[in-house]
A and B are shown apart, each in its own frame.
Chain A
Amino acid sequence: DAKTTQPPSMDCAEGRAANLPCNHSTISGNEYVYWYRQIHSQGPQYIIHGLKNNETNEMASLIITEDRKSSTLILPHATLRDTAVYYCIVRVLNTGNQFYFGTGTSLTVIP
């Protein structure tokens, strides 16, 4: 699976949109982009995933560039409870093989 690059930390004002970037320039055609987050020392939580089209669910939106070399996770109205480490992962769907979480982006939502 391809590896990803994320900024180590970001801040966002409460109520504003949080835009978390991820670079995956070596992604291959059958690899999906996944996002998870980890609040404090709890187990990570799945947020969203996509292949090449933009995706939206009740938690977030995922924007993938046309060349698929980067993506952005958008939390439309960040709250204090969104303070967490966000992990961007690329992998082939449902292969059950290795997961590379990396070190993620630590997002702090500021009141």
Chain B
Amino acid sequence: EAQVTQNPRYLITVTGKKLTVTCSQNMNHEYMSWYRQDPGLGLRQIYYSMNVEVTDKGDVPEGYKVSRKEKRNFPLILESPSPNQTSLYFCASSGLNRGIDEQFFGPGTRLTVL
């Protein structure tokens, strides 16, 4: 089944404790992206990647890192999480050669930073 998976789905952590949220897709998509969603602010893009070893900042990259060493994986790294990074996070992927530009989203990761 074609899908985007994220782990963990739920995470409660404390300020300053480094964490990684993994994202993996099995559709051989070139494009992958991370979003955060907060009440009243909608979905905001954090980082995106157009292919392996190619990443770029979205709207709200501060406090986050990403890497794209393999085509299928696009982990989101919070080196020193803070309470303002408490949010619902979505990973998405898209095939750039499909001519549709449909993004497929993962199920979301709900992160709480105390």
Residues of chain A at the chain B interface (Cβ within 8 Å): 32, 34, 36, 38, 41-46, 49, 87, 91, 93-94, 96-104
Contact = CB atoms under 8 A, between A and B. Distances in A.
Interface string B26-58: 000011010101001111110010100000101
A98 B40 contact: no
Given A96-B94, A99-B45, A46 B33 contact: no
Contact of B103 (A32, A41, A44, A100): A44
Contacts, number: 72
B66 interface: no
Given A44-B90, A87-B43, A102-B42, A96 B96 contact: yes
Interface class of chain A by DSSP = loop
Contacts of A101: 35, 42-45
B48 A96 contact: yes
B79 interface: no
Contacts of B101: 32, 34, 49, 91, 93-94
Interface residues of B, number: 34
5 contacts: A43-B104, A43-B107, A49-B101, A97-B48, A100-B59
Given A94-B99, A97-B48, A98-B59, A104 B42 contact: yes
Contacts of B31: 96
Given A99-B33, A101-B43, A46 B103 contact: yes
B103 A96 contact: no
A43 B105 contact: yes
A38 B108 CA distance: 12
A101 B36 CA distance: 11
Nearest to B32: A96
Contact of A41 (B59, B88, B92, B96): B88
